[in-house]
Structure 1
Amino acid sequence: MMLEKQSVVIAGGGSTYTAGIVMMLIENQDKFPLRKLKFYDNDEDRQNIVAKACEVIVKERAPEIEFSATTDPEEAFTDIDFVMAHIRVGGLSMREKDEKIPLKYGVVGQETCGPGGMAYGMRSIPGVVELIDYMEKYSPDAWMLNYSNPAAIVAEATRRMRPNAKIINICDMPVAIKKSIADIVGLESESDIVDRYYGLNHFGWWTEMTDKQGNDLMPKLKEHVAKYGYAAAEGEGNPLLEENSWMDTFQKAKDVYAVDPTTVPNTYLKYYLYPDYVVAHTDPNHTRANEVMDNREKNVFAECERIAAAQTAEDTTIEAGEHAEFIVQLAGALAYNTYERMLLIVKNEGAIVNLADDAMVEVPCIVSKRGYEPLCMGKIPHFQKGMIEQQVAVEKLVVDAFEEKSYQKLWQAMTLSKTVPSASVAKQILDEMIDANGNWWPELN
């Protein structure tokens, strides 16, 4: 059967991940064929670096796809079926401040967790809402697949501010973890795993994992995680974890697991359960933002410039990213009714029975042309319920602060975070972040 060709705009065309998404889209033309591929970004110079290379890649590998890049919303969002959104409002320079300001006060500095995630959320909300409005104005039948961080805060904001929008908020971190898990338990691919999982974005737990034949993978997995986390066993290579910061995060999962060995955790829980460890093992002068700028950004942009100059990508080092694979799978399920089982960030509405219906939770969903249908994960234990409810309150307070332009609510959000030791420290961080963010944030009263 011939599949109907789709039109896609990548919002955030200047991202270092965009070229990898293009490679994944091209490699999956049999599953998700394209008629148009557009880039949209409000930073024309940055987008041009990536777009000129991707134009060469598309011309060589899929010349039937109509390719363009623009900074004009009408041109970008007209005649599209999907918006794939991964914007970073404020860029890496603001991410650096999100990470370094909390560290000055002995608090976790991370782009989605703690005060840094809240600062980023205050910048991201208007950017993502703007994209929804463009989509609804120019292509009202389209779907937005949003993986712009911090996904939890963005999901809460869009639930309130654009409740009827066709937007699905997603994250690739569980996919990255499951790739390591597949290696640990001896499966060829993470797609061979059937899982039960509950929580929030960057804040969740697996309760079951089987292969597609129903064999229980948890005993072998737990034995490994208790010793090594999600990293490879001693003496074995781990090609998924090339950067020291990620290697540490995957190894630290063994200590996160020890807190509740009845489940296996998302790696990001280390920031909430071991914030003292994270601060002690972070260089306050060279954070993850600096790693990205010094390595990934330089390498990707240099390769894009080389491709554009040579007018060929035959020997390119750019590869399809694992998060791109997740996006293509989701888009295909929506377009072609494949009923995929995927982890999505959705309104709770009974998926976690003993949690508020209006919490934005991350749970397995069945995806089809109808959209998504969350699966019920039942009741959860007191430990996880207490942690989740605290974090849900933090995320709701951040959105309250944005909507009400409330200093008080944002101070409360930072105070309530498990990563912050006291209200006085929260206030010091908040005051410095207000100065650092300037016009990126609404003026708080």
Structure 2
Amino acid sequence: MKTGLKIVTIGGGSSYSPELIEGFIKRSETLPVRELWLVDIEAGKEKLDIITDLAKRMVRRVNANIEIHSTLNRREALKNADFVTTQFRVGQLDARKKDEIIPAKYGILGQETNGPGGMFKALRTIPVLIDIIHDCQELCPDAWIISFTNPAGLNAEAVLRYTGWKKFIGLCNSPTVIVHRIGRLMNLDPKQLRVDFAGLNHMVFGLHTYYQGQDISKQVIDALAAYNDGKTYEERFDTLPYTPAFLHELNCIPSPYLRYYFYKDIMLQHAIKEAENGCCRAQVVKRIEQELFANYADPALDVKPKELEQRGGAYYSDAACSLIDSIYNDRGDIQVVNTLNNGGCASFAADEVVEISSVITKEGPRPITVGRLPDQVEGLCRHIKSFEKLTAKAAIEGNRETALFALTMNPLVQDEALAKALLEELMEAHREYLPQFYK
């Protein structure tokens, strides 16, 4: 008889893994993790070995009863797993660099989860996720799959639409980051804040905000507008980079990623300049990771280093581990996840994946009812959802025509001739990871 949980992390050599391990350690009283299997591929073996040794030191430091295993054999790890988490990047950071640099040549914004970059990340990733689902159907048919792999919403759309596997949840730390920012801005305890989110991954909106049961939505918008008033774009960039007039008219908390659409030209100029200077985000992250792994390899290190937050990993463990804890313990609390809409947001069909505040139960997420998105953003979100569905279809079928149409209608492209040239160059650049298009 099992006495604890077996959790498998695919992409175990990720720099994010210490966040996850810390989260399991913190929840040891309510989440009895007994086996943690870290899985990676041959190209990630060196990082996997470093993370595995650090994980063992972290567990040993607090005498946690968690066995740490690592392997390059995914099927070996998956047998009888209770939860599977994914956090992998097909083609590693070199592929992300191509996603950013190549579109910039065409005057198009290339970003990890938006535009051509997000599309090609999905085209590379979805077939791998489908293979993982097939293994899970055979080896751990009752497991929940919690996917932190980007683009989280588009990946979930593909899995839930095409595989028949229902126990799949896409997850992002952005809503958690937004809640903490609001708490700092208004000097309120983020644990007492509740924000009702709805939309799509990296295009989600805080529709209503409550503090200790009181609706403070207007006060939050006023505070955001006041904070941004009089500041230059650069000064606003690290928070929510919108003008007071924009925020008041929007009348809800925007995703930071909205800037790629409403500040498109400014963001494009940033991207072009970064590409020319050899400091696109992929290159920056690569340097951060080199420093992180040098730190992780220190045999004296037995805690998650503070520097990990520079990688974008802030609150990752809170999001991932809280979700696993709530499913396992049937908590019925509210968390923001990527799941089937099922009537939660009236702007989407029941069978479309949305990022939405949901009640978390042992049967999975139950989206709360939030009505329609504001007119100000509903059209953009519907546009992006159509793009996501076409991209998922192209990834599954290996259909270039569908991929071309998807890229052409993307809000950051919308030019068939340009899309065709860009598609062909990106296809060839990523050929090794797109076998479905080269049958």
Calculate the TM-score normalised by the size of structure 2.
0.90
1:252 aligned counterpart, secondary structure: coil
The 3 A distance-change label for structure 1 pair 32 and 99 is same
Aligned equivalent of 1:299, options 291, 295, 305:
291
1:276 aligned counterpart, secondary structure: helix
Aligned counterparts, 1:37-436, within 5 A: 37-42=36-41, 43-189=44-190, 191-211=191-211, 213-228=212-227, 248-254=237-243, 257-258=246-247, 260-282=249-271, 283-284=274-275, 285-295=278-288, 297-307=289-299, 310=300, 313=302, 317=306, 321-436=314-429
Letter in 2 for 1:437: H
How large is the Cα RMSD of the aligned pairs? 2.5
Instruction: For 1:83 and 1:142, locate their aligned partners in 2 and report how far apart those are by CA, in whole Å.
Output: 7
2:160 aligned counterpart, secondary structure: helix
Give the C-alpha shift of residue 129 in structure 1. Answer: 1.8
Residue 440, structure 1, aligned to residue 433, structure 2: yes
Q: Report percent identity of matched pairs.
A: 27
1:281 aligned counterpart, secondary structure: helix
Note if contact 2:200-2:381 (Cα within 8 Å) is conserved in structure 1.
Answer: yes
2:359 aligned counterpart, secondary structure: strand
The 3 A distance-change label for structure 1 pair 416 and 255 is farther
Give the C-alpha shift of residue 395 in structure 1. Answer: 0.7
Give the C-alpha shift of residue 62 in structure 1. Answer: 3.2
Instruction: For 2:3 and 2:221, locate their aligned partners in 1 and report how far apart those are by CA, in whole Å.
Output: 43
1:207 aligned counterpart, secondary structure: strand
Between 157-166 and 16-25, the greater mean CA deviation after superposition: 157-166
Note if contact 1:202-1:268 (Cα within 8 Å) is conserved in structure 2.
Answer: yes
Note if contact 1:196-1:209 (Cα within 8 Å) is conserved in structure 2.
Answer: yes
Unpaired runs of 5+ residues, structure 2, are none
Note if contact 1:20-1:318 (Cα within 8 Å) is conserved in structure 2.
Answer: no
Instruction: For 1:75 and 1:88, locate their aligned partners in 2 and report how far apart those are by CA, in whole Å.
Output: 21
Note if contact 1:411-1:426 (Cα within 8 Å) is conserved in structure 2.
Answer: yes
Give the C-alpha shift of residue 31 in structure 1. Answer: 2.8
Between 320-329 and 339-348, the greater mean CA deviation after superposition: 320-329
Note if contact 2:343-2:350 (Cα within 8 Å) is conserved in structure 1.
Answer: yes
Note if contact 1:257-1:265 (Cα within 8 Å) is conserved in structure 2.
Answer: no
CA deviations 1:162-203 (Å, max 9, x no partner) are 2234111111111111111111122222x3212222111111
2:320 aligned counterpart, secondary structure: helix
Note if contact 1:350-1:357 (Cα within 8 Å) is conserved in structure 2.
Answer: yes
1:183 aligned counterpart, secondary structure: helix
Note if contact 1:172-1:323 (Cα within 8 Å) is conserved in structure 2.
Answer: yes
Residue equivalent to 1:241: none
The 3 A distance-change label for structure 1 pair 355 and 316 is closer
Instruction: For 2:172 and 2:103, locate their aligned partners in 1 and report how far apart those are by CA, in whole Å.
Output: 24
Give the C-alpha shift of residue 132 in structure 1. Answer: 2.1
Give the C-alpha shift of residue 245 in structure 1. Answer: 9.7
Runs of 4+ in 1 over 6 A off after TM superposition: 244-247
Calculate the TM-score normalised by the size of structure 1.
0.89
Letter in 2 for 1:184: L
Instruction: For 1:273 and 1:444, locate their aligned partners in 2 and report how far apart those are by CA, in whole Å.
Output: 36
1:364 aligned counterpart, secondary structure: strand
Give the C-alpha shift of residue 260 in structure 1. Answer: 3.6
Note if contact 2:240-2:254 (Cα within 8 Å) is conserved in structure 1.
Answer: no
Instruction: For 1:167 and 1:431, locate their aligned partners in 2 and report how far apart those are by CA, in whole Å.
Output: 32
CA deviations 1:264-283 (Å, max 9, x no partner) are 21111111222111011231
Instruction: For 2:352 and 2:265, locate their aligned partners in 1 and report how far apart those are by CA, in whole Å.
Output: 28
Instruction: For 1:274 and 1:24, locate their aligned partners in 2 and report how far apart those are by CA, in whole Å.
Output: 36
The 3 A distance-change label for structure 1 pair 416 and 137 is same
Letter in 2 for 1:252: P
CA deviations 1:401-441 (Å, max 9, x no partner) are 12232222111111111111522221221111011001211
Note if contact 1:77-1:138 (Cα within 8 Å) is conserved in structure 2.
Answer: yes
The 3 A distance-change label for structure 1 pair 255 and 275 is farther
Give the C-alpha shift of residue 32 in structure 1. Answer: 1.7
CA deviations 1:334-368 (Å, max 9, x no partner) are 11111110111112232222432332111111011
Unpaired runs of 5+ residues, structure 1, are 235-243
2:138 aligned counterpart, secondary structure: helix
Letter in 2 for 1:361: V
Residue equivalent to 1:13: 12
Note if contact 1:228-1:251 (Cα within 8 Å) is conserved in structure 2.
Answer: no
1:338 aligned counterpart, secondary structure: coil
Letter in 2 for 1:101: I
Give the C-alpha shift of residue 317 in structure 1. Answer: 4.8
The 3 A distance-change label for structure 1 pair 209 and 423 is same
The 3 A distance-change label for structure 1 pair 340 and 19 is same
Letter in 1 for 2:406: A
Instruction: For 2:437 and 2:22, locate their aligned partners in 1 and report how far apart those are by CA, in whole Å.
Output: 41
CA deviations 1:33-80 (Å, max 9, x no partner) are 311111011132221121122122222223421111011123211232
Letter in 2 for 1:160: R
CA deviations 1:379-414 (Å, max 9, x no partner) are 334332211111111111111212232222111111
Instruction: For 2:131 and 2:247, locate their aligned partners in 1 and report how far apart those are by CA, in whole Å.
Output: 42
Letter in 2 for 1:268: Y
Instruction: For 2:263 and 2:438, locate their aligned partners in 1 and report how far apart those are by CA, in whole Å.
Output: 31
Note if contact 1:245-1:288 (Cα within 8 Å) is conserved in structure 2.
Answer: no
The 3 A distance-change label for structure 1 pair 354 and 322 is closer
The 3 A distance-change label for structure 1 pair 250 and 427 is farther
